[in-house]
Structure 1
Amino acid sequence: MMDIRLLRIDDRLIHGQVATTWSKFTGISRIIVVSDDAASHPLQKILLTQAAPPEVKSHVVSIRKLNSIAGHALMNDVKVMLLFTNPKDVMRVHQSGLVFNSVNIGGMKYTEGKQMVTHSVSVDQTDINAFKYLNDKGIELEIRKVPGDRSQKIMDVLKKGNFL
């Protein structure tokens, strides 16, 4: 089984902070972007894989593909960062059997229908429902842009803002 060092939600996916700070902090050798949307766009796949630091291999896969490679022998003990754009997809991979203990929430930008809960995280009811599911499964849900930031629990932020 692959060694998931960081499972992160960041709708910007691979960018400067992720590619450098988190890669070094977690000691990963591979970044796997898990997005049905990105995996279906060849140009976006190329751009995302080129954004990773040279010493880190990167891939863009669909949720279904992640499920098929997660337990593959070639992934045994490979230190990975899994990147998602939203909590619903994280919930889907958990429901399909992927085991992980925590989710780091970096950025979820504001779009119509969402509400800001912190300066970098916006949610709608679908996001809240996915966070509730993950929390109910005992998974730690922390908001932290970079390793040096103070960690905030998303469920505490949602409760304080009367979203739960």
Structure 2
Amino acid sequence: MDFLPENLQTILQNPTITYLQSTTQEHLTSRLSDLRATVLQPYLIEPLSTLLTSYSSSMPDLLSICLLAIIILISLKILDYACRVIMFWVVLAFRLVFWGSLLGMGYYVYRVGVEDAARDLGWLFGVVSGFVGDYVEKSQGKAAAYVGTK
């Protein structure tokens, strides 16, 4: 105790501290055994033991249930992480396609001019409306043929 400062040595040599050091272990074990005998045994251990023994044939043990719950929680965390990673990459791809196409259209308009870009946009609109009109016409023809066969 020579290496401790003087104020700590006087505190540790106090009769109260020495008494607590000598009686703490015995006192603590007696108090814990009293706590187990008065509270834990009659209110927790015995009811749980009777519950588990009454359902022993059909109910799995408590360790298996806890282990299953932990495995489910860990797997859900892993699936959540995987879902977040996949959604990040999907959203990133859509954003890149959107902004890339927007920049590409801007560059195209800059390169050919506004009038030629509007003419090309009108041509593209005509092609798309032609495909849509053809699809609608064929689907109506198939629907009429389906109704006519009934």
Normalising by structure 1, what TM-score? 0.15
Structure with larger RCO (C-alpha < 8 A, sep 6+)? 1
Q: Give the structure with the larger helix fraction.
A: 2
Q: What's the TM-score, normalizing by structure 2?
A: 0.16
